[in-house]
Amino acid sequence: MFAYIVRKLLSTIPTLLGVALIVFVLFNLVGGDPTYQMLGRHANAQQIEEVRHEYGFDQSQPVQFLNYLKQIVTFDYGRSYSTRQSISQMIGDGIVPSLSLMIPAFLLTTLLSIAIGLGAAYFRGQAIDRVTVILCIFGMSLPMLGYILFGQYFFAFKLGWFPISGYETAWPDRIQYILMPMAIFVLVSLGYDVRFYRTAILEETSQDYVRTARAKGLSEPVIFFRHVLKNSMVPILTNIVIEIPLLILGAFLLESFFGIPGLGSITIDAVNNSDFPVIKAMTTLVAFLYILGNLATDVLYTLVDPRVRLK
């Protein structure tokens, strides 16, 4: 297992280099000279020269790419164009608000969706199953912005159950600010996840071992909870791990509308301000998380399915 993990980690190096090259080309070559985006078109020659020297834009493109690789390895992405803050410090400050919102929301979504999907598959074709599918489709049809506006107007403004926006760094004061965005994330995510897990579980019910278990006289609850659910974990784990890096993307609207100073809010501000170093850093971070997620998926496969062997 250890040797396999080491080999997988080494195999991610070309992938990271490819991602780094694509990001560098997009932001440094295709995007034009960032000096004019920082200073504007009316900057004088002296100002342009000073900024180009400060950020290393006066160096050759290969040297700039090597400096970018050094930033990735050392996790030192330089300073933001707009705020002049250290990007690594900005990411460090934004991780805690993002994780305090997204981790409980993601765990709750995963547990609820697996439970509901299993229940819908267990009662396949009955009223509970049909109502569940209809509610899932209805929930998937509404955009996250609709949930946000309705929640802020009705539950926050009209009923006053939650703050409309804001954030507190201290516990437990922080809880009141993350409850409603967390509930919105769960509602938005449940529709797709429940349908996916229901389909994955139903595919297992048509396998030969299920018919054999029924022929042996095992009850349906035992078959579903002891056998079907366990053998459905491969597609379930795949979906879970794929969603982990996308949590940052899912937090964009929530953090922006609810005033939570997390990674999603930082990225939105960077896009609005054309703050390319921050965007590059966040792109690299998401890619790295996705690669690590795939590695974790391969390892977890062997724990839930003995038929999978690492080679």
Q: Where are the domains of the chain?
A: 2-74, 98-304
Whole-number percent of the chain with pLDDT over 90: 1
Two structure tokens written together for 205 = 């019910």
Tell me if 247 sits within 8 A of 185, measured CB to CB.
no
- Count of C-beta atoms within a 10 Å radius of residue 162: 20
* List of residues 6+ apart from 176 with CB closer than 8 A: 162, 163, 168
* Average pLDDT, rounded, for the chain: 80
* Coil, strand or helix at 71: helix
Residue 125 burial (10 A CB sphere; 0-12, 13-18, 19+): exposed
Residue 282's nearest CA partner among 36, 1, 90 is 90
* pLDDT at res. 150: 87
Report the CATH fold assignment for 98-304: MetI-like fold (1.10.3720)
Which regions of the chain are under pLDDT 70?
1, 29-34, 36-41, 245-246, 248-250, 302-311
What is the pTM for the complete model shown?
Answer: 0.77
